[in-house]
Amino acid sequence: MATAVKITTIGSSVGIVLPKEILSRLHVEKGDTLYLTEAPDGIRLSPYNASFAKKLDAFEQIMRENRDVLKKLAE
């Protein structure tokens, strides 16, 4: 499914307006937090999950602290 949205001015910032159908599919509503993640095929938008966010933060910290080791393992 592909849905086009336009970037618009919201106060002194910019943003996008998500159609009701998309909000329904994500099971979110006004005031909820969404999570943006970079993927090989683009950016993914998903409902914010505190447990996932905590795991992702831990993963990113490990990646930073062990960059050289992980790079060597990838060779």
What's the rounded mean pLDDT across residues 48-65?
84
Cβ pair 1, 21 in contact under 8 A: no
Cβ pair 22, 3 in contact under 8 A: yes
* Residue 50 lies in domain: 7-74
**pTM value > 0.95:** no
Q: Cα–Cα distance between 10 and 71 in angstroms, integer?
A: 42
Phi, psi of 45 (to 5 degrees): -115, 125
The string of pLDDT tens digits covering residues 6-38 is 999 999 999 999 999 999 999 999 999 998 889
Pairing of strands 34-39, 7-10: unpaired
Q: Looking at the domain assignment, is residue 1 inside a domain?
A: no
Q: Looking at the domain assignment, is residue 36 inside a domain?
A: yes
Domain count, the chain: 1
Confidence check: pLDDT of 57 > 80: yes
